Amino acid sequence: MRWLVGWSSTAARPAEAGSAGAVGPDGETLHPVGSHLLWGDPDPLWAVGDWRPDEVRVVKADAQTRIAVLGICGATDEQLRVGLFAARGGALRHLTAWPGSYTAVVQVGRRITVCGDLAGARPVFHTPWAGGTAYATAALPLADLIEANLDYGHLAALLAAPDVPAALHDSTPYDGVRRIPPGHALILRAGAREIAGYEQVASLAVAAPSADPDSAVDAVRDALVEAVRARLSAPRHVPGSDIDPGPVPGMGPAERRAARGMPVPGIGADLSGGPASGTLALLAAGLPGMPGTVLGHGTGAGERLLAVTFNDLAVGGRESELERAGTLAANPRLHHVVVTGGEETLPYAELDGPLTDEPGSCLVTAARHRARLASGSADHFTGYGARQVLDAHPARLADLLMDRKRRHLVRPVAALAKADGSVLVPARVYGAARRLARTPYRTGLEGLADRLMQRRFEEPGGAVGASLSALAWARPGPAARWLTGEALAEVSVRLQGATQRSGVGPGQRPGDFRARAALARTAADLRVLEQAAEVRFQRLHAPFLDNQVVRACRALPEALRVQPGARASILRTVLEGAGVADLPPGWGAPSHASSAAAARTGLRVAADSLLALFGTPLLAQAGLVEARVVRKALRAAAEGEALPLDGLADLVSLELWLRRLLSRRGTCWTGTPARARAVPEGIRPQRGALGAGASGGAALA
């Protein structure tokens, strides 16, 4: 893991020679473990973890005015200096408009500004501490700093309503540690904190001006090309300094490197056969420059972009995608590697892994991803986030009705009717979109709170049913049906508290609001996946989550988004504009094989270990579930009963995360006296958890 952590004190204290650190309540000086000091007292900033030298840049205008940029940033030092001067005058958006994925921190005197990103893949956290405010790009270091206990209300909301921002609000799994929303910046003035948005939000009252589809797609192409170029122009790195121990019978250099858990030097990409990964692989291979290894390392074949395809031998159904991936990999600029996986790479097959900053449903599939990424490159492109930034959330149909653009509903509704085979589909979908367009945000939250209290979780099935259930401001999560009544009541209280906050309402149309929430959850899941499936010395790149790409995609007209096959059509146009026109037949076709088959197979194979995991679960000690209820659901799902597998993955992942958190040793901080760590008292059996939960919900109000 890599993060930055800093501190802003209420009163400036003189810097001691050769020292920089935060003074704890007992007078001790604290330092993050494994940190590199970027600047010192009175408001120090550290970079923690295995940052590459080119991923950390500090540009100074004078002794009290400087900017630190951590991550992949395509800006030159002069552009950073211009952005610093703009931020000194209060213009924050300039700090977020460079290509790449990074976190910018600006210090102007005693004012500290930390910018989060638009998607939420690079979040910023903060907590009050010792009369000031500590901030970081990871929640666990702050939880260790204040010795925070678990926030059971947040954990309940993660299971009951993970897609509802009002339920999670700004909380984290650690009590007292807060998160700033995507598209916002944390501003600290001598310890006092302020959260400010830097992005304009579309009005709910006035329709946005209609954008030209061609120019909007061109903007997406330009943003994607710049995002890829920013990675290609960064210095190349050779993973580690380990010397190859020599030949092993039956293993080539690549296999030996993968066995040691080391990526291939150079740049590579996923090539699943889908449009998102294929677009990034072809863009990266086609841009000027050598995408492969560092000069002088590896063979000539390694100088091509390494394209990695995962072939699941345990579960079939993706033969057409694999065939398309092979056709794309025939490009002479690509070096194709197929990674095969059997039962050992199924979901739930391996439940051991590292502790991540936060829980995420991908913990049950981390080993599956790690098997693929171990054969990847030191810098590896992934197509995560493309669906969320390009596709139309079903709730966008209500946005079209609000803008009086009914004719654009014809094609998407006709596609749903064709998939369902019922002539009643158009009337049902139109009626649901019309109700959503006329439903206030407050009413939507109150309806969800009532559903949770009444335990009404039935959802219609099929593609049409999924679209109908998504035509709402908020809906229960797939794991909500297995929570205790007390946990559901806690989430209901949080939702009711959200309706009582001043300025209730997202200030956006329902479709746009739901799409942003889905993007934030995907970005959070990717962040957990990066930590859980991390391969040493490897960097995963998700250009679709870059600020400039997200902005360009948000400017796409809704009428273009909602058309069937819009994502593949947009990416095809992007590739054609970049000079790539030879795409295989069926490219961009939706895959009928889903991860559900692999999840069900993995659940059946690992049923015994999962039942043992929930023999005495920590989730039950926390009062969130009853062990026997979860065990019954696991048995039923393993036997083939139609249950929401995503919900079971959420339960298992959260249980795994809690066990890893409580079994960890050490802390993120060093100093005298020795610091305790987060959750020092463990999980106590919760009796009457709503007592604390209700007061927390009321505090949110």
Q: Are residues 379 and 460 in the same domain?
A: no
Which of 451-460, 486-495, 500-509, 609-618 has the lowest average pLDDT? 500-509
Do 268 and 310 belong together in one domain? yes
Q: Over pLDDT 90: what percentage of the chain? A: 59
3-state secondary structure 247-274: CECCECHHHHHHHCCCCEEEEEEECCCC
Count CB-CB contacts under 10 A for residue 575.
Answer: 22
Residue 561 confidence (pLDDT) above 60: yes
pLDDT value at 295 more than 50: no
For residue 178, the cross-strand partners are 126
* DSSP-assigned letters across all residues of 264-316: EEEEEEE--SSHHHHHHHHHHHHSSS--SSPTTSS-SGGGSEEEEEEEESSS-
Choose one of 650, 669, 696: the last residue of a domain: 650
Is 245 a residue whose pLDDT tops 60?
no
Residue 363 sits in the same domain as residue 320: yes
What is residue 288's predicted lDDT score, i.e. its pLDDT?
Answer: 63
Same domain, 145 and 223: no
Could you tell me if residue 94 is inside a domain? yes
Res. 700 pLDDT band, cuts 50 70 90: very low
pLDDT band at 697 (very low <50, low <70, confident <90, very high): very low
**Exposure of 581 by Cβ count < 10 A (0-12 exposed, 13-18 middle, 19+ buried)?**
exposed
Q: Are residues 223 and 96 in the same domain?
A: no
pLDDT single digits (tens) 302-353: 468 899 999 988 887 788 888 999 998 888 888 999 999 889 999 999 999 9
The pLDDT value recorded for residue 19 is 46
Q: Among 106-115, 294-303, 378-387, which stretch is predicted with the lowest mean pLDDT?
A: 294-303
- What is the chain's mean pLDDT, rounded? 86
382 in any annotated domain: yes
Does 422 lie in the same domain as 549?
A: no
- Retrieve residue 460's tokens: 């219609």
Q: Does one domain contain both 511 and 614?
A: no
In a domain, 479, yes or no: yes
Q: Which two tokens stand for residue 517?
A: 């929430």
Same-domain status, 560 and 631: no
Residue 380 lies in a domain: yes
Give 209's pLDDT tier (boundaries 50, 70, 90): low
| Tokens coding 608 | 């015994």
688 is a domain residue: no
**In whole angstroms, what is the distance from residue 54 CA to residue 68 CA?**
12
Q: Same structural domain for residues 460 and 380?
A: no
C-alpha triplet 232, 235, 236: angle, nearest 5°: 80
pLDDT the model gives residue 143: 95
User: What's the average model confidence in pLDDT over 23-33?
Assistant: 71
Q: State whether 456 and 602 are in the same domain.
A: no
pLDDT at 689: 46
In this predicted structure, which of 136-145, 334-343, 356-365, 647-656 has the lowest mean pLDDT?
334-343
Domain interval for residue 257: 215-295+306-389+533-578
Residue 670 lies in a domain: no
Number of domains in the chain: 4
CATH number of the domain enclosing 167: 3.60.20
- 64 in Cβ contact with 109 (< 8 Å): yes
Asked if 601 and 570 sit in the same domain, the reply is no
pLDDT score, position 657: 97
Domain membership of residue 675 (yes or no) is: no
Give the pLDDT confidence score for residue 249 in this predicted structure: 62
pLDDT of residue 474: 94
Within this chain, do residues 174 and 226 fall inside the same structural domain, yes or no? no
pLDDT tens digits, 591-648: 766 788 899 999 999 999 999 999 999 999 999 999 999 999 999 999 999 899 999 9
Residue 588 lies in a domain: no
